[in-house]
Amino acid sequence: MRACITYHEKFQQYDLGVNHPFRGDRFVKAKAFFDQKGLSRSRDVLFVEPKPAGREDLLEVHTERYINHIYELAEKGGYYDVDTPVSKRILEGALYIIGGVIDAGRRVIHGEAEKAVALGGGFHHAGVGYGGGFCLFNDIAILVNRLRRLRLVKRVLILDYDVHFGNGTSDIFYSDGDVLFISLHQDPRTIYPGRGFLHEVGSGAGEGLNVNVPLPMRTGEKAYMYALNEVFPPLAREFRPDMIIANGGSDAHFADHLGSLGLTARGFFEISRVINSVSEDVCGGRAILLIGSGYNIEVLPYCWYALALGLIKPDSPPEEIEDFFKPLPDPWRNIERVKRIVDGLKDIMSKYWSCF
Ligand SMILES: [Zn+2]
């Protein structure tokens, strides 16, 4: 099987409220768009309904104390922080999404699918003992630790292309010598969570394995792709991971309501196409894409579809992918600043990597 996509109707229970940017209908609308485009009928793609994750899965990363806190909060209903409400329904939705991420990883590692897309995944703001920023549990890290504990992988590369910095994932693996974390995100001085600077390089065994690429607001698509191509493929080739896990969604789109980068739907196709080709080069094609973010519901289904397609069918760029919002931003916007940032990063990282 070329690819599997995990989806369950319970995902929509991860709905953070009427006035919240993270609504449950985004999953339903994305899946409906995938159906409309024929992805569900494709012989190359298997849609999988995951089982929910359980406490033992959460314990791969999180402390018992933190897990209990979230379960208690869910029982009575409340807020973890001002942006992150918790209820029984929301918790159940989260567990189904995490179950999908684990299932996607398992299928790829056992060769049941060459590629996998886990819809809804990528809760990168959750750390070992904390949540926040719409996230309760870090599904990316849960998958990495599960596969490592079962000795199915040793080294993992995580590429985080979400517009926000993945502080939770970064913290979890900051001193881990077997996980390379690369994050492209909007300049932390201009967006939540206010971290993800060049000098945050990792520590101990993980020194040099935390690679941040902070990009100026409104960076255009070509400038973004320049940064991605200068950093991700050479590091992946040198690191030689057993698997690549990428997480993000559509919040780096230029019309997103929370982010301020300048990608179009086609840019997301290009990102996952690069992920696909690098995975073919370095780890036998083992790549998993977690797609969860995006806060403009009008562009979200297009962008999520473009992301999935770039991984599953990288040779067939979607003609029908369009952006409603015209005019499109200048694709080379900020290229000179981006070049300086990439040069600065290479300068810092040359201590740890021969490719730089
Ligand atoms: Zn985000």
Confidence tier at 321 by pLDDT (50, 70, 90): low
- The Å distance, Cα 1 to ligand 1 centre, comes to 30
Domain boundaries, the chain: 3-349
Which of these, 203, 222, 213, lies nearest to 341 by C-alpha position?
213
316 pLDDT higher than 90: no
Distance CA 30, CA 340 (A): 37
- The Å distance, Cα 191 to ligand 1 centre, comes to 10
Residues 11 and 56: beta-carbon distance below 8 Å: no
Distance CA 185, CA 160 (A): 8
Task: From the candidates 8, 62, 124, 125, give the one annotated as an active-site residue.
Answer: 125
Phi, psi (rounded to 5 degrees) for 346: -60, -35
324 pLDDT higher than 90: no
Q: Is 130 helix (H, G, I), strand (E, B) or coil?
A: coil
- The Å distance, Cα 262 to ligand 1 centre, comes to 14
Token pair of 198 as six digits: 């060049």
- The Å distance, Cα 337 to ligand 1 centre, comes to 22
pLDDT tens, position by position, 290-302: 999 999 999 999 9
- CATH number for the region 3-349 comes to 3.40.800.20
110 part of the active site = no
CB neighbour list of residue 213: distance below 8 Å, 6 or more residues apart: 182, 183, 184, 185, 227, 228, 231, 341, 342, 345
Query: What is the predicted pLDDT for the residue at 201?
Result: 98
Query: What is the predicted pLDDT for the residue at 320?
Result: 62
Residues 265 and 299: beta-carbon distance below 8 Å: yes
CB neighbour list of residue 12: distance below 8 Å, 6 or more residues apart: 24, 25, 27, 28, 93
Query: What is the predicted pLDDT for the residue at 105?
Result: 98
pTM: 0.97
Distances in whole angstroms, Cα of residue 265 to Cα of each of 149, 318, 327: 37, 10, 14
Distance CA 330, CA 262 (A): 8
Q: What's the average model confidence in pLDDT over 122-140?
A: 97
- The Å distance, Cα 22 to ligand 1 centre, comes to 10
